[in-house]
Structure 1
């Protein structure tokens, strides 16, 4: 029985995604008791690659996970911008010329999830409760009551909603916030590299850009197998379902990339699993904390994937929130307010910047090679790239002043 295993002094966390597990591990490492409630019956992740940039890497280092991450990730040698039609290539960065380390860790979401689960269970074996969907809550001066879908109520001293874009905790805090379809979808898949030509197996992050779509491809490792991730974002006005994991058909995906370079066509044709994802946005929140309840990650600032920052923002949130709770352990409402004050402007700015990348990636100047060259040299000049990314990557959630 869940209620028998949860202390009333525990911080309750809704959602065992990367954000929820990162805050749980960060709290447990500080000696702060917590329990995680996950609606799924097992902790598994649909196949997808992750891009952990330096701002996220610092959080993983702070969680003492660097060694495990590096054993499972691939360090890209370089990142290139590629033209959709003829494969023309422009270097964005090179590992040998960037010792500061703006290169991301490339790994499978499932790997990071597994590493975080193991870290949490090592410190508290009973911390993660499955088949436990937080659907509502109540709070008073003494604590919180998380209401689960099966009718059980769990008492604790605070509640963190890390329950994603469809957050029930957010709904209880703020009410229903309608999402808006952005007229774009994402295709996501994984391709075993032994199905690809040798030149397609390189440890390179490739961002292919075109008039109405773009593709990011990079290698990841699963046990002893190397896979190439395929993530294609396409302008589409005909999507109705907000889902992360709708199954997609190769034939339909190929129709979205007619006329694209053969390297992209081969990626799609050889994909193992293919998922289709409608890209929705919600307006930025003005507040996401109230008393003993707060939100984290996609629950309070879901963002489009065009800067690869969704998971990195959740990791940053976790680091800052844990530090705030450690700093103000006897006044949870004040700790949550400090956390919100530190995170709201940054996450809003990152979300806005991510949305602003769509017309940069999808641009009519890319229609012909003649107009594309000047466009790419302007948009991805070193100064433009530094202005776009450096302020994101240089942030350190583990040391940012709390006061």
Structure 2
């Protein structure tokens, strides 16, 4: 599946000034930045999205959008635009255990192609507010304004700068990146069956994830414990094993085009003052819990509600306000994701046996309740993007 989205390219960018009550500058047109842009569009808050690429080409493979992410898409009016596969069963299996999560107890996840989600988030963004081929080379700030100095020599001024440009972005500190010692390969291919299910399967020295994302397409990833990228020939050996072929007889990966990268996380850093980081720029995490993209959407939605709580935003403490609302939740899932990834790659036969026995004895209902509670905690606290007019006027 491929998708190319083009907007008018800005060869020269003139001086922009704050118009109206507030202007938000967003650096990065990924999932975090575009989610925030959609929120601000609904709220009627002016913004500009600065994107270094001259055209937007969504890359990646599959994304798990669980109920917290679906609630945000619904609030944005985009839930129907994000097509994919509503998963009916999710399996986690190792050598001596197998767990199956079903949606009949309130658990819900839609597997989608990243390009589909990206396309939906671009749908309502006016091209005049998306500046492509633009790069912020530096910025300077006061208590209630930020001036972004662009690489072409022009300036863009706003009340705050929201950094949403990825794991390696510098905010007020240089990013601290921790390497898990694992490499991941991802792809989307067509299968000769349509199964509305997904799963992750642990083998001796690697693991494989397979999920249907709709229209007969499957998102596949494989993770190996290795300090450096292994060759394609070494990697495809996994797929020739009898236990793997028996589990996935409907998939042929010989001609797949894979994206590869090490699994890393970033120390949490929400920015400082009115320069705020969200998504991977604030807290990139390993993908083992399937919450990376959705946590970025949560960040954006939470920040938008802060911006529209009233008309006297304390811009100089905006990063601290976001941290107070988001830090513990993000830190908890980041730690769980890291530990889960380490657990999946234990190799000592005795520890593998003990791990799998513990997993087998873990009640599936308890696992489901824990996940649903995590999702519902955010949903229950979602403030409306547009506060009640009567309540605001009475303040």
Please give the TM-score of this superposition, normalised by the length of structure 2.
0.84
Question: Is the alpha carbon distance of 1:348 and 1:268 closer, same or farther for their aligned partners in structure 2, counting shifts above 3 Å?
Answer: farther
Aligned length: 368
SS at match of 1:395: helix
How much is the aligned-residue C-alpha RMSD, in angstroms? Answer: 2.8
Does residue 254 (structure 1) correspond to residue 236 (structure 2)? The answer is yes
For residues 1-400 of structure 1, what are the structure 2 equivalents within 5 Å? Answer: 1-4=12-15, 7=18, 9-69=22-82, 72-83=83-94, 90-95=98-103, 97-98=104-105, 100=106, 102-121=107-126, 125-141=127-143, 143-168=145-170, 170=171, 173-174=172-173, 176-194=174-192, 198=193, 201-221=194-214, 225-239=215-229, 250-255=232-237, 259=241, 260-262=243-245, 263-264=247-248, 267=251, 269-285=253-269, 288-331=270-313, 332-364=315-347, 374-379=357-362, 381-387=364-370, 389-396=371-378, 399-400=381-382
CA distance in structure 1 between the partners assigned to 2:218 and 2:361 by the alignment: 29
Deviation at 1:73, TM superposition (A): 1.5
Q: 1:400 to 1:40 in 2, by over 3 A?
A: same
Distance 1:365 1:344 in 2: 35
- In the alignment, the residues of structure 1 paired with residue 190 and residue 232 of structure 2 have an alpha-carbon distance, to the nearest angstrom, of 16
Question: Aligned pair in 2 of structure 1 residues 323, 370: CA closer, same or farther (>3 Å)?
Answer: closer
Deviation per CA, 1:278-307: give whole Å up to 9, x if none: 11223333xx24222111111111100000
How much has 1:210 moved relative to structure 2?
A: 2.5
Contact 2:144–2:274 (Cα < 8 Å) also in 1: no
User: Aligned-pair distance for 1:202?
Assistant: 1.1
- Give 1:2 deviation, angstroms: 2.5
- Preserved CA contact (<8 Å) 2:305 2:383: no
Aligned 8 A contact 2:62 2:112 in 1: yes
CA distance in structure 2 between the partners assigned to 1:80 and 1:382 by the alignment: 14
Identify if the C-alpha distance between structure 1 residues 61 and 365 changes in structure 2 by more than 3 Å, giving closer, same or farther.
Answer: farther
- What's the CA shift string for 1:132-183, capped at 9, x where partnerless? 1223211114511112233332112211001110114x1xx22x23323211
Q: After superposition, give the CA deviation of every residue in 1:7-61 in whole Å (9 maximum; x if it has no partner).
A: 4542100000000000011011011111100111111112400101111111111
Q: Distance in 2 between matches of 1:66 and 1:22?
A: 13
Q: 1:67 to 1:370 in 2, by over 3 A?
A: same
Judged with a 3 Å threshold, the aligned counterparts in structure 2 of structure 1 residues 352 and 319 are, in CA distance, closer, same or farther, namely same
CA deviation vs aligned residue, 1:300-338 (integer Å, no higher than 9, x gap): 111000001110111111111000000143222344432
What TM-score, normalized to structure 1? 0.82
Could you say if the C-alpha distance between residues 271 and 203 of structure 1 is closer, same or farther in structure 2, counting changes exceeding 3 Å? farther
Using the alignment, how far apart are the partners of 1:366 and 1:203 within structure 2? 33
